[in-house]
Protein backbone atom coordinates (compact mmCIF):
# COMPACT_ATOMS: atom_id res chain seq x y z
CA UNK A 1 0.00 0.00 0.00
CA UNK A 2 1.38 3.40 -0.92
CA UNK A 3 1.93 6.17 1.61
CA UNK A 4 -0.06 9.42 1.57
CA UNK A 5 2.99 11.22 0.14
CA UNK A 6 3.28 8.65 -2.66
CA UNK A 7 -0.43 9.01 -3.45
CA UNK A 8 -0.05 12.79 -3.45
CA UNK A 9 2.92 12.57 -5.81
CA UNK A 10 0.95 10.31 -8.17
CA UNK A 11 -1.80 12.92 -8.38
CA UNK A 12 0.67 15.76 -8.82
CA UNK A 13 2.31 13.90 -11.71
CA UNK A 14 -1.14 13.34 -13.23
CA UNK A 15 -1.85 17.08 -13.06
CA UNK A 16 1.56 17.83 -14.59
CA UNK A 17 0.78 15.50 -17.49
CA UNK A 18 -2.54 17.24 -18.06
CA UNK A 19 -1.05 20.75 -17.91
CA UNK A 20 2.24 20.07 -19.70
CA UNK A 21 0.86 20.68 -23.23
CA UNK A 22 -0.15 24.17 -22.04
CA UNK A 23 3.19 24.95 -20.39
CA UNK A 24 4.08 27.60 -22.96
CA UNK A 25 1.15 29.73 -21.77
CA UNK A 26 1.76 31.88 -18.67
CA UNK A 27 -0.90 30.07 -16.61
CA UNK A 28 0.38 26.65 -17.63
CA UNK A 29 3.94 27.65 -16.80
CA UNK A 30 2.88 29.00 -13.39
CA UNK A 31 1.01 25.78 -12.60
CA UNK A 32 3.97 23.61 -13.58
CA UNK A 33 6.32 25.70 -11.42
CA UNK A 34 3.99 25.46 -8.43
CA UNK A 35 3.63 21.70 -8.89
CA UNK A 36 7.43 21.35 -9.02
CA UNK A 37 7.67 23.35 -5.79
CA UNK A 38 5.03 21.12 -4.16
CA UNK A 39 7.02 18.03 -5.14
CA UNK A 40 10.14 19.57 -3.55
CA UNK A 41 8.23 20.34 -0.35
CA UNK A 42 6.96 16.76 -0.18
CA UNK A 43 10.53 15.44 -0.11
CA UNK A 44 10.63 16.62 3.51
CA UNK A 45 6.99 16.35 4.61
CA UNK A 46 7.09 18.39 7.81
CA UNK A 47 3.86 20.05 8.88
CA UNK A 48 5.23 23.42 7.76
CA UNK A 49 6.19 22.10 4.33
CA UNK A 50 2.82 20.41 3.94
CA UNK A 51 1.01 23.64 4.78
CA UNK A 52 3.16 25.49 2.21
CA UNK A 53 2.34 22.79 -0.33
CA UNK A 54 -1.37 23.24 0.37
CA UNK A 55 -1.08 26.99 -0.21
CA UNK A 56 0.61 26.34 -3.56
CA UNK A 57 -2.10 23.80 -4.40
CA UNK A 58 -4.74 26.48 -3.73
CA UNK A 59 -2.92 28.76 -6.17
CA UNK A 60 -2.91 25.99 -8.78
CA UNK A 61 -6.61 25.36 -8.17
CA UNK A 62 -7.44 29.06 -8.55
CA UNK A 63 -5.68 29.18 -11.91
CA UNK A 64 -7.30 25.97 -13.16
CA UNK A 65 -10.74 27.12 -12.00
CA UNK A 66 -10.55 29.83 -14.67
CA UNK A 67 -10.73 27.04 -17.25
CA UNK A 68 -13.61 25.03 -15.73
CA UNK A 69 -15.74 23.43 -18.39
CA UNK A 70 -12.76 22.37 -20.48
CA UNK A 71 -11.97 18.68 -20.22
CA UNK A 72 -8.30 19.06 -19.18
CA UNK A 73 -9.26 21.46 -16.39
CA UNK A 74 -11.99 19.14 -15.14
CA UNK A 75 -9.53 16.22 -15.05
CA UNK A 76 -6.98 18.31 -13.17
CA UNK A 77 -9.63 19.43 -10.65
CA UNK A 78 -10.43 15.77 -9.89
CA UNK A 79 -6.79 15.20 -8.97
CA UNK A 80 -6.70 18.41 -6.92
CA UNK A 81 -9.76 17.23 -5.00
CA UNK A 82 -8.01 13.94 -4.25
CA UNK A 83 -4.98 15.88 -2.96
CA UNK A 84 -7.23 18.02 -0.75
CA UNK A 85 -8.92 14.89 0.60
CA UNK A 86 -5.54 13.31 1.43
CA UNK A 87 -4.57 16.50 3.29
CA UNK A 88 -7.89 16.59 5.14
CA UNK A 89 -7.55 12.95 6.24
CA UNK A 90 -4.18 13.80 7.72
CA UNK A 91 -5.30 16.83 9.68
CA UNK A 92 -4.18 19.61 7.35
Q: Where are the domains of the chain?
A: 4-89
The yes-or-no verdict on residue 14 having pLDDT over 90 is yes
How many CA atoms are closer than 13 Å to the CA of 3, on its beta-carbon side?
6
Give the Å distances, CA to CA, from 35 to 38, 60, 85: 5, 8, 17
* pLDDT tens-place string over residues 51-65: 999 999 999 999 999
Q: What is the pTM of this model?
A: 0.93
For residue 91, what pLDDT is reported?
82
Amino acid sequence: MSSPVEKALENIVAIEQIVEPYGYYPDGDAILKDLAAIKELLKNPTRGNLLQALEKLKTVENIINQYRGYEPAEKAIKHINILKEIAKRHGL
